[in-house]
Chains A and B, each alone.
Chain A
């Protein structure tokens, strides 16, 4: 088998929940050895989330979100406060390229794992801490879950129905994914720097600043135009497209399609497809983008008259064939079971849960969203390991400790 690109890389992973684990799993998917450190007292809290009913011990079997973000990793249980646990940790730092965490600053000091501590152990180590709002600054100790970050960075304020004062409210944890992506990108930048110079470094990653960096155009718009655009629903945020909305389709309640018409060429194609005689699309109310924005309410009603008579799939087929952007709004079930395109690309991969009675035998999880030279990731993957599943392997095989040493350390509660 061809070597995966990251087989020479070892990551000591002290992260939990979403942003960190999502990032390190992408590395393990590409061949990096990721050693996840947990302990009986403080295991990854995501293990308990999204659980099937009846599961008694999340340390044995995490919920599915946990499995998605942690399969393919080595998992060890380590008590950093014990002497031998500390020794194992320091040796792990020595064999690692990267230590990645998402603690608050106080926890580092308490556990003696600040960058200064770690570079003492290995000067060229790369250390990245991904926190909600960064390692320092007036709000750095704040309690921040993704929705809080989404609020503080302005994302919350742009999702909502047109004409309403109140934004929609709780949005899926997009800020965690933004943070996770930034973790990936910055780790590589630091690895590249180390490969060139031999130097390690500390990276202070603020998920909040990661999120703000997606909104530069919005901030420039405010500085230069001083217009409060307010909530736009599904209309184009800067009036750059019309029609641009989600429309009701035929069939059971709750079937929708999205249509986006940006250029005049697309508008002409759209008009030919939905109104070949030009009975309404020919009206001067819709003759230019400016006019279509001005008369958007009427435009949307007209478009919906057309979509309502068609299934969302049919609407998408007709308009895409005409060269117009249109797509069905797909639920999770739709993407899993009826999206022919994803099936043809063999996107989802199977995870088997041999230990559970109540889970389906196979469970579909995400692959990487890209293929390198056409290759997908492994088709069948194992669930995320039990907490501490690889403690013995890591300590004895990777670090070369004897059975006697391991047993003595275990007796001193180094691995709880």
Chain B
């Protein structure tokens, strides 16, 4: 078995936005070289951290999203660094960058310049708001800002309190996967035509594609979904003995009532017209009475037990895992979803592996992220040989 993208050469520049994109290419056999500033990529200072025995802080965000890559340190702000970068780029298929728009041009390393020596080069620029337009120079130091501008934030949360953000930089990493798609689509053509391209990806626009229901509501009902009313009950969450399960009626109202009855609950209160629509409803439209019945049900089960019993009844019920319990989830473990990685400093750890299993291709997900400048010597020697 071989890797799908073995032999593809990728340079990934500083920043968080392109990290997941490069991680997947590396899992698929591409050589992904991280170009770090002397001292290390700024993302090595992004938490959460682990502290080593020597008291050194190691960024876990950096470690996870850079598995399998190589590292070269280069000072892009000086002429010598720029000239080395140009050499590297002329021997590469893909450059991934997420500097503020205009920065690469200031260094004389923009796509127009690089393509003179590398006509087949594909450059992906991932920035919060894209390369053009009045907000292109706006900063978004964390995902909070793009979520506010384009994400679902305005419709998540409770009235009277601030709208809520989906944390852990997830939106950035998802944008990176759009970037990967754009690279793959371009490469599909470039490998035949020999002509590369520059891809301008906006994280704000990525977020908008994940909001299409709200965009439709805004245009047709003239009102998009808003924050939950302060007196409305929370949707879907059921209190179990050791945490929460998430339950949906999912069009199976009678089966849901049967479950309540089987556990000795009086369901006559649901014999009202307003509840009959639940039979057709895919979503969770809970009121206090329904929540109370779900919670009574939950008091009989652990969160996993509630899921297993619900699923036995063909109902959409899931356990609400937290980071500690997720690692123990029997299904994910049975599928080998977590791979063991031997980290040179942090020891043996479980990392999420690949999102899909490919029948005929290898995927490499258990090679730890590089140390700062770990591959300086190898790469410089390779350059010398070419010169």
Contacts and interface: CB of A to CB of B under 8 A. Distances in A.
Partners in one complex: yes
B18 to A, nearest CB: 13
Given A369-B205, A370-B199, A166 B234 contact: yes
A170 interface: yes
A219 B327 contact: yes
11 contacts: A140-B331, A204-B359, A209-B335, A215-B352, A217-B61, A221-B60, A244-B142, A328-B148, A336-B218, A366-B215, A369-B202
B147 A258 contact: yes
Which applies to chain A's interface (DSSP): helix, strand, loop or mixed? mixed
B379 interface: no
A191 B28 CA distance: 13
B141 A260 contact: yes
Given A328-B149, A344-B134, A189 B28 contact: yes
B168 to A, nearest CB: 5
Contacts of B235: 169-170
Interface string B46-81: 111110000000001101110000000000000000
A212 B318 contact: no
B323 A152 contact: no
Given A166-B237, A233-B162, A206 B318 contact: no
Contacts of A222: 323-324, 327
Contacts of A42: none
Contact of B156 (A153, A159, A334): A159
B178 interface: yes
Interface of B: 2, 4-5, 20, 24, 28, 46-50, 60-61, 63-65, 129-130, 132-142, 144-150, 152-158, 161-170, 173-175, 177-182, 184-189, 191, 197-206, 208-220, 224-228, 234-237, 244-246, 248, 250, 282-284, 311, 314-324, 326-327, 329-332, 334-335, 337-338, 346, 349-361
A370 B349 CA distance: 36
A161 B161 CA distance: 9
Contacts of A340: 134
Contacts of A140: 331
Contact of B359 (A68, A192, A203): A203
B181 A203 contact: no
Contacts of A208: 331-332
Nearest to B327: A219
Contact of B322 (A5, A157, A345, A369): A157
Which applies to chain B's interface (DSSP): helix, strand, loop or mixed? mixed
A264 B364 CA distance: 38
A219 B219 contact: no
Interface residues of A, number: 155
Contacts of B135: 320, 341
B154 A329 contact: yes
Contacts of A247: 162
Contacts of A232: 167
Interface string A222-249: 1111001000111011111100111110
Interface string A195-223: 11101111111101110111111111111
B142 A151 contact: no
A256 B200 contact: no
A214 B250 contact: no
Shortest 8 CB-CB distances between A and B: which pairs?
A238-B47, A64-B216, A216-B64, A332-B224, A369-B205, A188-B184, A148-B318, A151-B246
Nearest to A168: B164
Interface in A1-56: 3, 5-6, 9, 22, 26, 30, 49-50, 52
A103 B16 CA distance: 34
A58 interface: no
Contacts, number: 488
Given A244-B142, A262-B141, A137 B167 contact: no
Nearest to B147: A258
A108 interface: no
A324 interface: yes
Q: Output the residue of A254, A266, A333, A364 with the most chain B CB within 10 A.
A: A333
A113 interface: no
A389 interface: no
A143 B312 CA distance: 10
A162 to B, nearest CB: 10
Nearest to B343: A220
B147 A159 contact: no
Contact of B212 (A263, A345, A365): A365
A154 B59 CA distance: 21
Given A50-B217, A143-B315, A159 B144 contact: no
B236 A325 contact: no
Contacts of A254: 226-227
Given A258-B147, A366-B209, A240 B46 contact: yes
A299 interface: no
Interface in A345-384: 345, 347, 359-360, 363-374
Contacts of A224: 50, 60, 346, 349
Given A260-B145, A261-B141, 6 more contacts: A167-B244, A203-B357, A223-B349, A233-B162, A325-B145, A341-B135
A257 interface: yes
A139 interface: yes
A141 B316 CA distance: 11
Nearest to B285: A170
A400 interface: no
A144 B50 CA distance: 34
Contacts of A69: 212
A142 B330 CA distance: 14
A97 to B, nearest CB: 11
A152 B139 contact: no
Contacts of A257: 148
A78 interface: no
Contacts of A266: 141
A186 B358 contact: yes
Given A168-B164, A219-B326, A364 B219 contact: yes
Contacts of B353: 209, 213
Contacts of A363: 216, 219-220
A366 B178 CA distance: 14
